[in-house]
């Protein structure tokens, strides 16, 4: 006997009204995509439930994949058997023996198939007795069980499930449109991207690269971060903007205290153009109130002036420690803290204004026409499609 499928439960999606079909289809597609390396595993839907049929695959690595898919509230390993008492007894015992270190259990039988000759109450007792006889040091506790073995006798077969494994929750990626994530390489922006994805948003990323001031390794770091995010969704397009000329011009021509603010405004302008070209309707940043100079209320107000696209700021009210915690959980932290210069650390004004004003900023910007340089930056964008496996890694695959 062996677990032969995984039962998938959706959380919030179940609350959606008429759109639910669309959410479920997307989830099914996302799951199928993520487990395609297990050729025989199939995702099936029947009677308002979703299953992964294992067809002989080891459930553990598949569970690991499912734990990274948004839209799954929880999962359970399950066994399907014929509607026969003996078969159900064996399966329940298997589930108990594979339930980990437990002392107290409970059996709950649901008899949906009323043609099944044994009533659910009686079936509870038969199974409970069978489990007690065949195990040691395990007792029944209907109020506080370590493990609940659920038995559903349905028309076509009986399903036995036990431990409930939590999923990520959220909505299936691809059900809430697309956003452009400003990905710097620090701790915050990958977390912002992850949280946007949690609400079903698909992401593309934009990164401002200033060679030779920023190295190829800083760029690789951003691609690595994007790749880590693909584990929670689909492949991610990363737009690398050649930013050196524009950045140098800003720091040469604009007053020191406003250079940082103006640079950020340029980034928003370029991002908006990318959004338009790629039919993306919003931007996402890792901004967080009060963290550094550019993230004051004044600064946000002034930077935001240049675009009327919605800016999603999932981290805006979080504490740094909360952000770090998520970044560790999604395994971007170790990459994020690698000490490479990025475009924000290389040109640092001596005394950036923490309260930049819109009117003054506009006045400074009016003195110089940056439009040609912005155009040049946009035209020079290199777009790299990041999948769960990159070309570089495929090169490494044979080695490892």
Q: Which residues bind another protein (CB under 8 A)?
A: 215-217, 220, 224, 334, 392-393, 396, 398-400
In the complex, the smallest distance separating the C-beta of residue 28 from another protein, rounded to whole angstroms, is 27
Q: Is 208 annotated as a binding residue?
A: yes
Name which of 115 and 398 has its Cβ closer to another protein. 398
In angstroms, give the least distance from the CB of 143 to another protein. Answer: 27
| Nearest to 310, CA basis, from 288, 332, 289, 281 | 281
Contact 284, 314 (CB under 8 A): yes
264 marked as part of a ligand binding site: yes
Task: Detail the DSSP E strand segments found in the chain.
Answer: 5-10, 42-46, 49-53, 72-81, 104-111, 139-140, 147-153, 158-169, 178-182, 202-209, 236-242, 283-284, 311-312, 382-386
The distance of Cα 174 from the centroid of its chain, to the nearest Å, equals 11
> Quick one: three-class SS letters along 109-159?
EEECCCCCCCCHHHHHHHHHHHHHHCCCCCEECCCCCCEEEEEEECCCCEE
Complex with another protein: residue 221 or 313, whichever CB lies closer: 221
286 annotated ligand-binding residue: yes
Q: How far apart are CA 267 and CA 274, in angstroms?
A: 11
CB of 216 to another protein, least distance (A): 4
The position carrying tokens 């490494």 is 396
Closest separation in Å from C-beta 200 to another protein: 28
Which lies closer to another protein via its Cβ, residue 217 or residue 252?
A: 217
Please identify, using beta-carbon distances, which residue of 55 and 396 lies nearer to another protein: 396
183 annotated to bind ligand:
yes
- Strand order across the beta sheet in which 42-46 lies: 42-46, 49-53, 5-10, 72-81, 158-169, 147-153, 104-111, 139-140
- Nearer of residues 146 and 298 to another protein, judged by Cβ: 146
Query: In the complex, what is the shortest distance from the CB of residue 307 to another protein, in angstroms, rounded to a whole number?
Result: 34
251 annotated as a binding-site residue = no
Tell whether residue 347 is among the known ligand binding residues: no
Q: How far apart are CA 88 and CA 166, in angstroms?
A: 25
Nearer to another protein, 115 or 137 (CB): 137
CB of 217 to another protein, least distance (A): 4
207 is annotated as contributing to ligand binding? yes
Residues annotated within the binding site are 182-183, 207-208, 264, 286, 295
Residues annotated within the binding site for ATP are 182-183, 207-208, 264, 286, 295
């Amino acid at each position: 006997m062996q677990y032969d499928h995984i039962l998938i439960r959706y959380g919030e999606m179940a609350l959606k009204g008429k759109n639910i079909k669309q959410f479920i289809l997307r989830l099914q597609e996302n799951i199928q995509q993520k487990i395609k390396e297990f050729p025989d595993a199939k995702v099936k839907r029947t009677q308002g439930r979703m299953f992964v049929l294992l067809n002989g695959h080891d459930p553990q690595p598949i569970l690991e994949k499912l734990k990274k898919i948004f839209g799954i509230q929880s999962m359970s390993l399950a066994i399907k058997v014929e509607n026969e008492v003996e078969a159900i007894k064996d399966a329940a015992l298997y589930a108990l023996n594979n339930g980990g270190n437990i002392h107290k259990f409970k059996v709950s039988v649901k008899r949906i198939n009323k043609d099944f000759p044994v009533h659910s109450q009686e079936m509870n007792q038969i199974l409970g007795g069978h489990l007690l006889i065949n195990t040691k040091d395990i007792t029944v506790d209907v109020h506080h069980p370590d493990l609940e073995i659920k038995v559903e006798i349905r028309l076509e077969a009986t399903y036995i499930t036990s431990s409930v494994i939590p999923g990520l929750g959220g909505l299936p990626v691809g059900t809430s449109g697309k956003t452009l994530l400003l990905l710097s390489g620090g701790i915050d922006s990958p977390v912002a991207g992850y949280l946007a994805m949690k609400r079903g948003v698909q992401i593309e990323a934009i990164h401002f690269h200033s060679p030779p001031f920023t190295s190829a390794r800083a760029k690789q770091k951003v691609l690595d971060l994007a790749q880590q995010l693909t584990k929670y969704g689909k492949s991610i397009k990363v737009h690398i903007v050649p930013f050196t000329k524009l950045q140098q011009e800003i720091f040469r021509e604009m007053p020191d205290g406003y250079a940082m603010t103006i640079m950020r405004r340029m980034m928003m302008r370029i991002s908006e153009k990318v959004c338009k070209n790629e039919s993306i309707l919003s931007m996402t940043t890792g901004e967080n109130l009060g963290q550094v100079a550019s993230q004051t209320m004044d600064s946000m107000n002034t930077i935001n002036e240049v675009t009327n696209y919605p800016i999603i700021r999932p981290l805006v009210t979080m504490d740094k420690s909360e952000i770090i915690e998520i970044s560790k959980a999604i395994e971007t932290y170790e990459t994020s803290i690698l000490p490479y210069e990025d475009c924000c650390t290389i040109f640092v004004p001596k005394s950036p204004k923490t309260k930049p004003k819109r009117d003054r900023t506009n006045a400074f910007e009016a003195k110089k026409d940056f439009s040609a340089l912005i155009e040049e930056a946009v035209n020079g964008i290199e777009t790299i499609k990041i999948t769960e496996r990159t070309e570089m890694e495929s090169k490494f695959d044979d080695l490892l």
